[in-house]
Structures are given as C-alpha cells and as structure tokens.
Chains A and B, each alone.
Chain A
Amino acid sequence: MSRSDVLVDADWAEAHIGQPGVVIVEVDEDTSAYDKGHIPSAIKIDWKKDLQDPVRRDFVDKTGFENLLSERGIANDDTVLLYGGNNNWFAAYAYWYFRLYGHDKVLLLDGGRKKWELDSRELTRDVPERPRTSYTAKEQDASLRALRDEVVAAIGKRNLVDVRSPDEFTGRLLAPAHLPQEQAQRAGHIPTARNVPWSKAANEDGTFRSDDELKTLYADEAGLDLAGRDTIAYCRIGERSAHTWFVLHELLGLPNVKNYDGSWTEYGSLVGVPIELGEAR
C-alpha cells in the first residue's frame, strides 16, 4: 500500500467525473454544503443519518451498510472516491468505515472540498441518479477499531495518539474551538497519550503533508515508537482520529493502527478510569 493507492488529487477526480466504475461521494456531518454545490456526479452520505445507528451509539450494522450502499447505487467492484468538508475528517471516517466493512477499492481526495473550492473548480447542484445495486459487505474488520476496554488496557503499553487540539488535550477546552464548550464530560486526556493534533498532518489547503514530513512528525517530534508498538488514535468522536488513522495506516503503511471512535466523549464520561490534565508526561 502506498500513497498513490489510497490518495488522489483533484486532477484525477476531474478526469474521472461520470466515469463508469467510479463513484464520487461527498461525506459530511452537515450536508447542506453538498446541497449548495458539489463535485459533478457526486452523491452524498450523511455521516450522522447514514453511518450512525439511530438508537444505539454505534455504527449501522452490516445489513444497514449493505442497504445504504445498494440504495445509493454503489456496487462491490466500484471504486469509491470520498471527499468532504472539515479538512476531510468525515470523508476519512467514511474511508475507515468502508474498509471496516471490507470495501477495498476506496480512495480519498487530497484536500477534499476545501482545496476544490480554493482552486475555484466546478461545483454543481445537479443530483445524479444511480440505479440500485445489490451490495454485499463483509463482517467488520476488528483489527481497525479499538473499543474502550482495549484502550484502558493500552495505557502505558501502546502508542496512544490524541489528535485533538492542544487546548482540548490539556483540558482547557472540551470541544474544538468552533463549537460551544460543553460541561458534561471530564476534561483532559488518556494517561501516556501523546498529543499530535490532526492539523499537523495537513497543509493549510487541507492536503496531506509529504510522507517524510509525516514520519518526522510522529516518530521524531512526538517520539512515538511506531516500529515497536501498536497504535491507537482517538479524538472526541472519532472522525479527526480517522484522519490520523488514514495517515498512519494508509499513507505510512503501519500495520497495527486502530481508531478509537468512542474517543473522548466516551472515555471522558467513564467512571473510574484514570485521566491526566495538562501537558503530556
């Protein structure tokens, strides 16, 4: 697996608009941006309505994922190109999710919606119609997802990468600074975690930094033992850490990297678990 197998640029996307076998999908939590204009031929997936179980805090199950992709006209042998706003957070989450359910032909658009907009490329309001398919998903690949007990057991034993902003990591803020600050959970971070904000992996236009820059960031600057230890990435709800999971697992090709999608909204609400405040120790 290398960068070119998983990441494409806007020229590639433009050349594949409307091509058979390629489905372009915009993914976001707030899909109003799609409704105002999207890449021609792109369909949309709503991170919350389509990918989250409406009752339990969990994914939609295998049958639900099969129904979603069948209804959107995505076939098992289609190449799915994902992009979105928020510097591709939710598109990276969807990428991780597609891989969890065994869809291997999936790509991420470097820079996502932001670079496309800043480059003044074409956006349309036309919504494509795709004929229904009969999609078959695989069972969830547990090697990509960390659950809470595994995270607690990993304290001091594995690399824990907290990808939130420094103020969220130290406990000054409970949410990113574009959101009102909640009071429901405890602030801080998981003991022994290192803080490598997702934003350090991205350039200003939302594209990923080079492989060499990324290796320097995680191994040299953050001091993570990437070769000797398995890694778990987390944030607040698991989408920024999906961005970092994509960097570590897909771009840098590290084998044992999991995303903890329960993240701080789960961990910071657990009774009895250790929490650290302030800088990393």
Chain B
Amino acid sequence: MTADGCGAPAGGVSVSTVAGSLGTQAVVEGRVTLQGEPVGTGYARLLGSGDEFVAEVPLGDDGGFRFFAAPGSWTLRVLAPGGLRAEQAVQADYGQVTKIEVAL
C-alpha cells in the first residue's frame, strides 16, 4: 500500500504488499465464522483502551480480516448483520502475526 490510498479493502490488506520484512509490522489477523461457516458480510474493529476506535476492515468473503497495529494490547470487536457481535482481547508485537478465530 502506498501513500495514495487509505481505504480498507475487504479482508484487509495482504501481507504480500509489505515492503521488506514483517519485522516492523505488528499484524493481527483472523477469520469470523458462524456455525462453522465464514461470515462474509460484517466488520472487524480494532479498539484501544477505553474502547477508543483504532481501525476497521470489512470482512472478506472468507470471513477474514487483517490489521497492522502498533505493538500493545487491543480489543477486537466484530459486527455482523442481525445484531451479531463478538469481542476478544488481542496482543500485537513487531515481527509477529497474531491469529484470531472468532465464532459468532
């Protein structure tokens, strides 16, 4: 991703777009399912302390999402049609890909 873009594509930006190594990135990624099936319509939100909004991506067709956070503790919140929602604590660190499975 370059400076001429800012939006969040469905599922999140691919790690293959990262220039150089992942050592300078703190990746949080995962998948959202409902009764074992991927949830392709919905939103993953990354929140800081006090529920401070950090970022949001629409879920991909496979229910996937990805963030490139700062290192630290975050909350992941998922919103989906029908009032479905879920929340999980997340830890992010440079050079690590933190993987999360969310079942609604």
Contacts and interface: CB of A to CB of B under 8 A. Distances in A.
B55 interface: yes
B17 interface: yes
Interface string B35-73: 000000111011010001111111000000011111000
A90 B6 CA distance: 10
B1 A89 contact: no
A68 interface: no
Contacts of A166: 48, 52
Interface in B1-59: 1-10, 12-13, 15, 17-19, 24-25, 41-43, 45-46, 48, 52-58
A274 B64 CA distance: 40
Interface stretch (A101-109, A179-187, A226-234, A245-253): A179-187
Given A117-B81, A165-B55, A176 B6 contact: yes
Please list the 7 inter-chain residue pairs (A to B) with the smallest Cβ-Cβ separation, ordered nearest first: A29-B7, A199-B53, A177-B55, A178-B8, A265-B3, A178-B55, A180-B18
Interface string A180-223: 11111100000000000101100011000000000000000000
Interface stretch (A139-147, A148-156, A167-175): A167-175
A117 B19 CA distance: 33
A276 B103 CA distance: 42
Interface residues of B, number: 40
A197 B53 contact: yes
A32 B17 CA distance: 18
A119 interface: yes
Given A89-B7, A118-B80, A179 B58 contact: no
Interface of A: 28-30, 32-33, 47-48, 52, 57, 85-87, 89-90, 114, 117-120, 165-167, 172-173, 175-185, 197, 199-200, 204-205, 235-237, 239-240, 265
Contacts of B7: 28-30, 47, 85-86, 89-90, 239
A5 B67 CA distance: 36
A120 B81 contact: yes
A177 B10 contact: no
B3 A237 contact: yes
Nearest to B48: A166
A167 B54 contact: yes
B81 A178 contact: no
Given A119-B81, A179-B8, A239-B6, 5 more contacts: A30-B7, A114-B58, A167-B54, A177-B54, A178-B66
Contacts of A183: 19, 24
A8 B27 CA distance: 37
B79 interface: yes
Contacts of B13: 178-180
A82 B104 CA distance: 31
B81 to A, nearest CB: 5
B6 A29 contact: yes
